[in-house]
Amino acid sequence: MRHVKETLRQKLELGRTHREIAHALGISVGVVGTTLSRASKAGVGWEEAKVLSEPELEVRLYGAPRPSAGSQKPAPDCAYLHLERKRRGVTLELLHVEYIEEHPDGYRYTQFCEIYRRWAKRHRVSMRQVHRAGEKAFLDFSGKKPHYVDPRTGECIEVELFAGVLGASSYTYIDVTRSQKVPDWIAVNVQALEFFGGVPEVLVPDQLKSAVADSCRYEPKIQRAFQDLAEHYGTVVIPARPRKPKDKAKVEAAVLVAQRWVLAKLRHETFFSFEELRRRVLELGRELNERRMRMYGASRRELFERLDRPALRPLPAERFALCEWKTVGVNIDYHVEIGKHYYSVPYQLIHEKLEARVTATTVEVFHRGERVASHARKDDPGRHTTLKEHMPKSHQKHLEWTPSRLVHWASTIGPNTKTLVEAILADRPHPEQGYRSCLGILRLARRHGQERLDVACGRALAVNARSYRHVDRILKKGLDRIPAPARPGRPEPRPTHENVRGPTYYEGQSGPAASAEGGDAC
């Protein structure tokens, strides 16, 4: 500003010096002198000057301003510039080069940038965040909730309204979930990525419990299942700072739009199931993305196809499966309990604390971040799932023994040994109860030889013995070298003699004669 009127007032009315006027108005002494000189030449005194406005006074002293050559220069399309800046690697300098190629007599770089900045400020666009295509997806729940009516009880059941938005195009996914718990949070994020048809470089959630296990301004700890989701899709999670909504201004605006263009439209509609409400919300979300935005002259879908879609990473071949993490202890039998079923881990980890990752189909066990066991998930309570390689060597050998293998080994020693082993296995309520007895008997061949062992087994069979201890005692006392006694139940041969009456002596005799004969015999 030239301060023409104030300069004339202080000089002509107050009579102040040039230097005092310059000091008071913050201008040079030369400007004061030039202004007074022009007023004198134009014949303008203070009485005339005080009734004129500042612009009118400047015209009297300096003449009407001439139109500048720059006023005829073509103005840049600031909306186009703003959208192009979202593309990867596009800068204002590059856009100015393209502008000059199209308009050689256009604005130079400094004025070009100034015009764009004035436009951005006028349209309330935050310049602190420039969203590159495919870089970030912002995720949040709405504070205002839709609801449906339970047809049986008439109860209004509130559900959560979710919004996910891509930074560059503002392409928005709107959905409802039953809660903000981890399973619902994971499921709605999977559905959002599938809706976008690709994966952004960064996921930016609020610091809700389902996304952030330990909230912190500087080093938030990501919830384990959400971190697994990010790793599965090849992206990273960078939560917004607590109580800093500008970190996720995109999704804050998207939530506001969802409340106005989805919830507001539902106010006169009644739904009697969660599925019915969700179908309507998804339908309104699609309509929102097709609406033309005045600021950009294009819809969210058009901007998405132009900006974000080419820059998103492809989705993996398999959909992410929700998993649950839990800390488990290894029992003395080298098994961990998950869902009342027992799964084996390497026996060296007995008494250790491990982490189990449980999905609908698999159970994986980790020790210090390294996977040590993987099993198909079973739902049989009280049962065991055991891998042979997790067992100690002695347990593995015990596992290899079966009744048929024991009988085959016994048959290589001799028929008596085979018969005794079969009798022991058949005599026990469960075959495994006779494994140790049979193994002990078979291993006696190492010390006493197969021939002696088979004879000893035959002697044990003769006395109806069915244990390792009997066979071992027979061999230690050398009873296998003594002829075996007759088997129980076989009558011994009677001696023949004239005074020995046989069982048929009294056959055919009866009455007094038999009695008399008997008496005479006496």
* 348 beta partners: none
Residue 213's pLDDT band (cuts 50, 70, 90): confident
Burial class of 330 by CB neighbour count within 10 A (0 to 12, 13 to 18, 19+): buried
CA distance 287 to 301: 10
CA distances from residue 250 to 235, 245, 246, 254 in whole angstroms, order as listed: 19, 9, 8, 6
* Percent of residues, the chain, with pLDDT higher than 90: 23
**Are 70 and 107 spatial neighbours (Cβ–Cβ below 8 Å)?**
yes
CA distance 22 to 7: 9
Question: Is the pLDDT assigned to residue 276 strictly greater than 90?
Answer: yes
What is the per-residue pLDDT for 124? Answer: 57
Residue 518's pLDDT band (cuts 50, 70, 90): very low
Residue 354's pLDDT band (cuts 50, 70, 90): very high
CA distance 173 to 159: 16
Eight-class DSSP state of 96: H
Domain 136-311 class, CATH top level: alpha beta
Pick from 171, 169, 259, 250: nearest CA to 205 = 250
Question: Is the pLDDT assigned to residue 299 strictly greater than 70?
Answer: yes
Determine how many CB atoms are found less than 10 A away from the CB of residue 211. Answer: 27
Question: Is the pLDDT assigned to residue 25 strictly greater than 90?
Answer: no
Q: What is the mean pLDDT of residues 453-469?
A: 88
51-60, 189-198, 248-257, 502-511: least confidently modelled range = 502-511
Q: Give per-residue pLDDT as tens, 129-167.
A: 567 888 889 998 988 899 999 998 889 999 999 999 998
What is the per-residue pLDDT for 464? Answer: 86
Burial class of 84 by CB neighbour count within 10 A (0 to 12, 13 to 18, 19+): middle
Q: What is the mean pLDDT of residues 276-294?
A: 91
What is the per-residue pLDDT for 494? Answer: 60
221-225, 292-296, 390-394: least confidently modelled range = 390-394
Q: Rounded to the nearest 10 degrees, how much is the dihedral formed by the CA atoms of 308, 314, 315, 316?
A: -160
The overall average pLDDT reported for the chain is: 82
Give the residue, 398 or 379, on which the prediction is more confident. Answer: 379
Most confident of 8-12, 99-103, 188-192, 492-496: 188-192
Q: pTM higher than 0.75 for the full model?
A: no
Strands (E) across 34-186 are located at 136-141, 147-149, 156-158, 160-166, 172-177
Residue 513's pLDDT band (cuts 50, 70, 90): very low
Q: What is the mean pLDDT of residues 207-227?
A: 85
Q: Rounded to the nearest 10 degrees, how much is the dihedral formed by the CA atoms of 188, 194, 196, 202?
A: 70
Sign of CA dihedral 238, 244, 248, 251: positive
What is the per-residue pLDDT for 431? Answer: 61
What is the per-residue pLDDT for 241? Answer: 79
**Are 335 and 386 spatial neighbours (Cβ–Cβ below 8 Å)?**
yes
**Are 54 and 4 spatial neighbours (Cβ–Cβ below 8 Å)?**
yes
Q: Give per-residue pLDDT as tens, 26-67.
A: 888 888 888 888 888 888 888 888 888 888 888 888 776 665
Give the residue, 177 or 513, on which the prediction is more confident. Answer: 177
Outline where 205-299 has alpha helix (H). Answer: 224-233, 249-258, 274-290
Q: Which own/partner contact pairs does 296-304 have at CB distance under 8 Å and 24+ positions apart?
A: 296/79, 296/82, 296/83, 297/79, 300/169, 300/170, 300/171, 300/172, 301/171, 303/83, 303/168, 303/169, 303/170, 303/171, 304/166, 304/169, 304/171
Determine how many CB atoms are found less than 10 A away from the CB of residue 510. Answer: 9
Question: Is the pLDDT assigned to residue 500 strictly greater than 80?
Answer: no
What is the domain partition of the chain in residue ranges?
A: 4-65, 77-122, 136-311, 324-391, 401-481
Cα angle at 94 between 93 and 99, to 5 degrees? 95
Name the amino acid, one letter, at 281: V
Residue 229's pLDDT band (cuts 50, 70, 90): very high
